[in-house]
Structure 1
Amino acid sequence: MSGRRKPLAIDRLAIGYFGVTGLVALLFGGLPGAGITTAHALIIFGIIRLASSDPRAGLRGVIRASYAVLLTPALYAELAVLNRFVTQRYFDTTVQGWDAAMFGGQPSMELSTLLPWLPFSEVLHLGYFAYYAIVPAALIGVYRTRGFDALHRTACAVTGAFFVSYLIFTFFPVAGPRYEFVRIGGEIGDGTLYRLVHGILETGSSKGTAFPSSHIAASLAAVVAAGREDARWFWLLIVPEIALTIGTVYGRFHYAADALVGALLALAVCLAVYGPGSGLAVRATHGPSHGIRTDDLGDDPREG
């Protein structure tokens, strides 16, 4: 391709997110917000420069297609500041009302009481911990078996799930059951994996990021998108994903409504990426030998 390369869909997603949150910080955050806006503007400039390069092999190719996913831990840490710019409220009572209306109670309190079995709890907490492996496994896996374009599409689905979740956190912060309800006690509370997972969250969580569950949204998007590229990855990752989904409620990390909306969000972003008329210009067709192909605006026509 001669001349400057066009941005990939992942670039447009990232620029859109940094632009919106930078504007929110500027409008509502005063002097601290102006600092965030400046940092976001510099990142957008860097993404524009990055868009002129297009490595497709090795570690540089993996980073080029999925760098936005790699940025999400830092963006997650920023959310506890961003949502305080917009509102001083947490909307837990609203979500608790949704749980009561849909499920007749509070599943995040009741599930562990109904099933107080240490082995069952440990399996579900292991599933929750598996979140840290599901997304990388899906991204690296599809790159190894289907190549750069498949990785890019999968990364778009994961990034979309993260960014939509993060925007909701900014305007509708929900603390979650971990802040609102008492911790699980008894034999379950003495579990090794229980202590491990809760210890991680005590040191690395951002308050106000419960609704929807970005853990479920991003990881399920990764599983579904990777399975769309290569069905083997779906069947490999769906079992830990199910354990993660149940574990978010059982362990009192999320309300049931958080989990439900997180799952629906995952399916919605996958539909946006793979469905006809995709707004992200990631339109897939079935190729004769490599599964799904793409005619994304950022893809090099010389490749497949």
Structure 2
Amino acid sequence: MSGREGLLPVDRVTIGYFACTGVISLVFGGLPGAGIAAAHALVVFGITRLGRWHPRAGLAAIARAAYAVLLTPLLYAELAVLNRFLTQRYFDTTVQAWDAALFGGQPSMDLSAWLPWLSFSEVLHLGYFAYYAIVPIAVLGVYATRGVEALQRTALAVAAAFFVSYLIFMFFPVAGPRYEFTQIGGRISDGTLFGIVHGILEAGSSKGTAFPSSHIAASLAAVVAAGREDRRWFWLLIVPELALTVGTVYGRFHYATDALAGILLGLLVCAVLHGSGSGPRGAREAEGGQPTA
């Protein structure tokens, strides 16, 4: 993938995201949207210049393969503006109705009431906080054990999961339980990790980015894609990934349907990339190698 001249798959996916959001911003965003569109056009031009740069090792190779993932915090920050261009409403009542139909209630409210144990809460909040480690460990881990092409494939899966989530946020913004329901109270709220996680979200979350859970979609894509390259990374990361998934609902960060949609999206992205030849089996067969077990 990286030994040939030309753009990598992650470059094309990233260009597609910036082009799509840029056009929407230009058409529907007025003067602020025009500014965003111009910035996105500059980024697209910059990415097209990367076609001749294919470092094989070191920090340069990591940056080349994973730059799209590194951009996602900045892209997340602009979503609170982008998701106002197409609609002025939030679709929380719709998702709440889905939760009621699927689960017979509102798990994002009920779980902490059913299981009001401080130690349990701290474990799940640690799981949610583990999101900030799962993606870097998966991406850097496969580079350390399987090389630069494994890094490229894993980073592509993570970036694609993020970008699809972000596009959904623009068309179907959902604020989430943090805005709709009261915050968890009682002894649980005295937890150290509870305070850290909720403090981070208060300082840096973008409203309208609940459905699907991009945290779950991207981190699960990282775990599955890294596991395909080296199974050790799957078994190392799947437990914190499960804690993250439950913690998103328990902590009232996401509706249960958000979490379910995030799981399905993460798996779907990995399946599509694997089937299209961007996964380890397809890439090796395309290069004339033997299929992996």
> Is the Cα contact below 8 Å between 1:122 and 1:191 reproduced in 2?
yes
**TM-score for both structures, normalised by structure 2:** 0.95
Q: Which residue of the partner structure matches residue 184 of structure 1?
A: 184
Residue 293 in structure 1 maps to residue 275 in structure 2: no
CA distance in 1, matches of 2:31, 2:52: 33
Residue 223 in structure 1 maps to residue 223 in structure 2: yes
CA distance in 2, matches of 1:122, 1:66: 31
Deviation at 1:118, TM superposition (A): 0.2
Deviation at 1:82, TM superposition (A): 0.2
Residue 284 in structure 1 maps to residue 275 in structure 2: no
Deviation at 1:282, TM superposition (A): 1.4
Aligned-CA RMSD value: 1.6
CA distance in 2, matches of 1:284, 1:242: 24
Residue 9 in structure 1 maps to residue 9 in structure 2: yes
Q: Which residue of the partner structure matches residue 90 of structure 1?
A: 90
Q: What is the SS of the residue equivalent to 2:281?
A: strand
Q: Deviation string for 1:115-156 (max 9, x for gaps)?
A: 000000000000000000000000000000000110111011
Structure 2 gaps, min length 5: none
CA distance in 2, matches of 1:150, 1:244: 24
Q: Which residue of the partner structure matches residue 99 of structure 2?
A: 99
User: More helix per residue: 1 or 2?
Assistant: 2
CA distance in 2, matches of 1:51, 1:114: 54
Q: Which residue of the partner structure matches residue 241 of structure 1?
A: 241
CA distance in 2, matches of 1:284, 1:250: 35
Deviation at 1:52, TM superposition (A): 1.8
Aligned ranges 1:113-124 → 2 under 5 Å: 113-124=113-124
Aligned ranges 1:134-213 → 2 under 5 Å: 134-213=134-213
CA distance in 2, matches of 1:170, 1:56: 36
Q: What is the SS of the residue equivalent to 1:84?
A: coil
- Label 1:268 to 1:238 Cα distance change in 2 as closer, same or farther (>3 A): same
Q: Which residue of the partner structure matches residue 289 of structure 1?
A: none
1:254 aligned partner, one-letter code = H
Deviation at 1:294, TM superposition (A): 6.6
Structure 1 gaps, min length 5: 287-291
Deviation at 1:285, TM superposition (A): 2.5
Q: Deviation string for 1:253-290 (max 9, x for gaps)?
A: 00000000000000000001112xx1xx515338xxxx
- Label 1:113 to 1:147 Cα distance change in 2 as closer, same or farther (>3 A): same
Q: Which residue of the partner structure matches residue 32 of structure 2?
A: 32
Query: Identity rate of aligned residues, in percent?
Result: 73
Deviation at 1:96, TM superposition (A): 0.1
1:148 aligned partner, one-letter code = V
- Label 1:197 to 1:294 Cα distance change in 2 as closer, same or farther (>3 A): farther
> Is the Cα contact below 8 Å between 1:282 and 1:295 reproduced in 2?
no
> Is the Cα contact below 8 Å between 1:157 and 1:222 reproduced in 2?
yes
> Is the Cα contact below 8 Å between 1:284 and 1:295 reproduced in 2?
no
Deviation at 1:250, TM superposition (A): 0.1
CA distance in 2, matches of 1:265, 1:223: 13
Deviation at 1:295, TM superposition (A): 4.1
Number of matched residues? 286
- Label 1:117 to 1:293 Cα distance change in 2 as closer, same or farther (>3 A): same
